[in-house]
Amino acid sequence: MSNYTIGVGFSILDDSFSAGKEAAQSAIGKHIGAPKVLIVFGAMRFNHRELLAGISSVAKDIPMVGGTTAGEISSAGFSTGSVVVMSLSNEDLEFVTGIGRNMSSDEAACSGSMANDILSKAAFDPDASLLIFPNGMGGDGLKVLEGLQSVLGKDFEITGGYLGDDERFENTFQYYNGKVYKDAIAGLMVIKKKGFRTGIGVRSGFSSIGNSFTCTSSEGNVVKEFEHTNALDLYKDFLGEERAARLPAVCLEYPFGIIDNNPSNSSEHIFQLRCGLSVDHEKGTISLAASIPEGSEVTLTTASRGDIINGAREAADQAKKSLAGATPQAIIMFSCVGRKLVLGRRIQEEVDAVREIIGLDVPLIGFYTYGEIGPIDKTRKELSSVKFHNETVVLWVLGKE
């Protein structure tokens, strides 16, 4: 199509400026005319200002969003220590970027500010799609969603991934219009004028190990009690002595699942995963990437490597189905760092599973995250509201009718 191109670039050059330049040249070189926006994901090893300067030396003032990762994904597959760039352009698509600052001090205010920044540049369109890239160490993921929905409404389509720092769990960087930020949320609104649809797939492959209990005390993203019992003690009891000795790392293998009681089908067990980030043995508390609200019904979950890869396959099937016959044009993949760590040497199989189902020739970019954003199932009204996830793969697919 002469009016529509998508390019993907990739580089592992040692020099930050040169790596950014090479990746941008590779992505933009595939275009007829100038792209409208760039999406950029980079490893922590780079000098990020130099990396973006290298990209901007090619891209000039093309709008840009993205940030640092816990592993990069592109059409070339899984990589580390790399930078990946996707360039997009179409006369029937509008791309609008925005940013919110000081996320860790007030997550809801930050995300609301980012949404309002976008709306100051474009009229509200209820059929648009928002991609967000928050600071991965910025606090409670549920509060981020509350801020976005206070501006955009509960039915607005939102996907995204919390940025990483190569498993250091210290601080992440956000990329926005050629500059490097800390403690921010970058966002990209995709406004579809005609002929385009978006497909979304959200699956984990994790399943309940059978037990269920209630969160009776929590504060923010810190769980204090399950069933009026010290939360960490109860978790240790479920894990057993040998596994509990590996806390907090073992949390990746046994995340909590908040049970979503679906009123339309009470036999269907759906949950949003919550992975423990740290534990306080003295206080008996567990800190999570997002809160478990008091009164929530919770289960313990686990998955084999094969289950995790199958979860990616299911997400790809779901995304393709939600395109309703539209032809896939681009894939953005957000997969949890916990999946990466559990998969180990089999990590490439997750990326391969997605590409085999949606299309080996469809341009792909993504990264391993510290939390994922997306609806459980956009094709079903009762499951279409956006949720925060851990240990999950979220796929955003642009399709042309």
Per-residue pLDDT tens for 177-233?
A: 999 999 999 999 999 988 899 999 999 999 999 788 999 999 988 999 999 999 999
Q: Are residues 14 and 127 in the same domain?
A: yes
Report, as an integer, the average pLDDT of 351-375. 97
Q: Are residues 118 and 247 in the same domain?
A: no
- pLDDT given at position 262: 60
Q: Are residues 38 and 91 in the same domain?
A: yes
Q: Which two tokens stand for residue 290?
A: 């997002």
Q: Are residues 323 and 285 in the same domain?
A: no
Q: Is the pLDDT of residue 61 over 70?
A: yes
Q: Which of 244, 273, 301 is the last residue of a domain?
A: 301
Nearest Cα to 16, choosing from 160, 137, 175?
Answer: 175
Q: Are residues 179 and 222 in the same domain?
A: no
- pLDDT given at position 377: 87
Predicted structure pTM score:
0.94
Q: Are residues 348 and 248 in the same domain?
A: no
Percent of the chain with pLDDT over 90: 82
Q: Can you point out the beta strands (E) in 114-255?
A: 129-134, 157-161, 173-176, 179-182, 185-192, 196-203, 207-208, 213-219, 222-226, 229-230
Q: Are residues 148 and 54 in the same domain?
A: yes
State the burial class of residue 204 (Cβ atoms within 10 Å of its Cβ: 0-12, 13-18, 19+). buried
Q: Are residues 394 and 313 in the same domain?
A: yes
Which of 241-255, 257-271, 290-304 shows the lowest per-residue confidence on average (mean pLDDT)?
A: 257-271
Domain residues for the domain of 285 are 207-301
User: What sign results for the dihedral spanned by CA atoms 386, 168, 285, 237?
Assistant: positive
Q: What is the pLDDT of residues 33-50, one digit of tens each?
A: 789 999 999 999 999 999
Task: Write b or e for each residue in 145-177: b if 16 or more Cβ atoms lie within 10 A of its Cβ, otherwise e.
Answer: bebbbebbeeebbbbbbbbbbbeeeebbbbbbb
Report, as an integer, the average pLDDT of 5-15. 95
Nearest Cα to 202, choosing from 354, 339, 315?
Answer: 315
- The position carrying tokens 């955003």 is 396
Q: Which of 301, 336, 362 is the last residue of a domain?
A: 301
- pLDDT given at position 45: 98
Q: Are residues 364 and 378 in the same domain?
A: yes
Q: Are residues 167 and 267 in the same domain?
A: no
Q: Which two tokens stand for residue 72?
A: 């990069």
Q: How many CB atoms lie within 10 A of CB 201?
A: 31
Q: What is the pLDDT of residues 83-108, one digit of tens each?
A: 999 999 888 899 999 999 999 999 99
Q: What is the pLDDT of residues 122-152, one digit of tens each?
A: 999 999 999 999 999 988 889 999 999 999 9
Mean pLDDT for the chain overall? 93
Q: Which of 243, 269, 301 is the last residue of a domain?
A: 301
Return the SS3 of 400. strand
Domain count, the chain: 2
Q: Are residues 197 and 213 in the same domain?
A: no
Report, as an integer, the average pLDDT of 291-300. 93
Q: Is the pLDDT of residue 264 over 80?
A: no
Q: Is the pLDDT of residue 12 over 90?
A: yes
Return the SS3 of 268. coil
